[in-house]
Amino acid sequence: MQRNPKDLPSVLAQKRRPAPDFILPLLPPYRAAWGETFRLADHLGKGPVVLNFWASWCYPACYEEAPVLEAFWRRHQGRVLLLGVNTQDKEEEALKFLAQFGLTFPQAYDPRGRVGVDYGLYGVPETFFIDQKGRVLARHAGAIDEATLERYLEEALR
């Protein structure tokens, strides 16, 4: 009778719903390049978007995937937008995590986890793939690996 929580379906991805919009402040190190706040709608329809929900207290999964995400961003920057959404975390701790991994892709700050509720988040880390039309293509729960990132990016670019 036990179900794997990772198998729980995403309502958004199942029905290919439009990605719920949000406006979040960006963490200080990213403001120079991306502005004070990040509005998802400004970036939809221009190319695929990948949202990665994470927290510094999410050990080890978030720590495992951070270098993978950074490598993915460096490889595909320009073809895809990768946004980190720091969820239910303390800013200080989040900044320490970002410095530790030297993440260069933009990072939004959502201490309440309000955006997570809109995406039907079960936990962190979770990664959402948004296609070029701004619809949610897939959700991945748990630490993500390179192969999965590439596979969904191909799907989103199709």
Partner 1 sequence: MRWVFLLFALLLPALAQEAPPPDLSPEVFRIARELRCPVCQGESAAESNSGVAQEMRRLIAEMLKEGKTKEEIKAFFVERYGEWILYAPPRRGVTLWVWVLPVLGLLLLGLGLSAYFRPRPLPPELLEEADRRMREPPS
**How far apart are alpha carbons 72 and 94 in whole angstroms?**
20
Site for partner 1 contains 74 (CB under 8 A): no
Confirm or reject binding of residue 92 to partner 1 (CB under 8 A). Answer: no
Residue 21 contacts partner 1 per CB under 8 A: no
Q: Is 8 in the site for partner 1 (CB under 8 A)?
A: yes
Annotate 2-58 with three-state secondary structure: CCCHHHCCCHHHHCCCECCCCEEEECHHHHHHHCCEEEHHHHCCCCCEEEEEECCCC
10 Å CB burial of residue 132 (0-12, 13-18, 19+) is middle
- Per-residue contact flags (x/-) with partner 1 for residues 96 to 125, judged by CB under 8 A: ----------------xxx-xxxxxxxx--
* 36, 26 Cβ separation under 8 angstroms: yes
Based on the shown chain and the rule CB under 8 A, indicate whether residue 30 belongs to the binding site for partner 1: no
For residue 82, what are its two tokens? Answer: 């990768």
Nearer to partner 1, 62 or 149 (CB): 62
Q: Cβ of residue 3: shortest distance to partner 1, in angstroms? A: 9
Least gap, CB of 18 to partner 1 (angstroms): 13
The residue count for binding partner 1 (CB under 8 A) is 17
Q: Does 142 bind partner 1 (CB under 8 A)?
A: no
9 forms part of the interface with partner 1 (CB under 8 A): yes
User: How long is the chain?
Assistant: 158
Kindly tell me which of 58 and 137 has the beta carbon lying closer to partner 1.
58
Distance in angstroms (rounded) separating the CA atoms of residues 6 and 3? 9
User: Minimum distance from CB of 114 to partner 1 (Å)?
Assistant: 6
DSSP state, residue 65: H
Which spans of this chain sit near partner 1 (rule: CB under 8 A)?
A: 8-9, 11-12, 87-88, 112-114, 116-123
